[in-house]
Amino acid sequence: MSDSTATANGAVAEVHHEHPSYQRHHFESVEQQFDTTNFAMWLFLLTEVMFFGGLFTSYLIMRNWYYPAFVEGSHQLSIFWGTANTAVLLCSSFTMAMAVWSAEVRRKGMLLLFLGLTFVLGIGFLGIKGIEWHEKWEKSHVPGLRYSEASFLNPASDKEVYKEYHDKPLAPDMAAKTEQYFFLYFALTGMHALHMVIGVGILIFIMVRAKSGAYTSGHVTFVENFGLYWHFVDIIWIFLYPLLYLISRY
**Which residues of the chain form contacts with another protein (CB under 8 A)?**
1-13, 15, 24-26, 28, 32, 35-37, 39-40, 43-44, 46-48, 50-55, 57-58, 61-62, 65-66, 143-145, 147, 173, 176-177, 179-180, 183-184, 187, 191
Q: How far is the C-alpha of 152 from the C-alpha of 154, rounded, in Å?
A: 5
Q: Which is nearer to another protein, 3 or 18 (CB)?
A: 3
As measured in angstroms, the least distance from the Cβ of 179 to another protein is: 5
Three-point CA angle 192, 194, 199, nearest 5°? 95
For residue 220, what is the DSSP state?
-
Residue closer to another protein, measured from CB, 52 or 119: 52
Neighbours of 30 (CB within 10 A): 16
Minimum CB distance to another protein smaller for 145 or for 249: 145
**Is the CB of 16 or the CB of 249 nearer to another protein?**
16
Instruction: Please say which residue, 111 or 196, places its beta carbon nearer to another protein.
Output: 196
Instruction: State which residue, 159 or 173, has the beta carbon closest to another protein.
Output: 173
> Residue 88 in contact with residue 121, Cβ under 8 Å?
yes
Cβ atoms 185, 141 nearer than 8 A: no
Give the nearer residue to another protein in terms of CB position, either 21 or 47. 47
How many C-beta atoms lie closer than 10 Å to residue 208's C-beta? 10
For the beta carbon of residue 56, count every other beta carbon within 10 angstroms. Answer: 16
The CA distance from 69 to 173, in Å, is 10
Q: What is the DSSP letter of 147?
A: E
Q: 84, 122, 133: which is closest to 200 by C-alpha?
A: 122
As beta bridge partners, residue 147 has: 141
* Measured distance CA(114)–CA(100) in Å, rounded: 9
- Rounded Cα distance between 74 and 49, Å, is 24
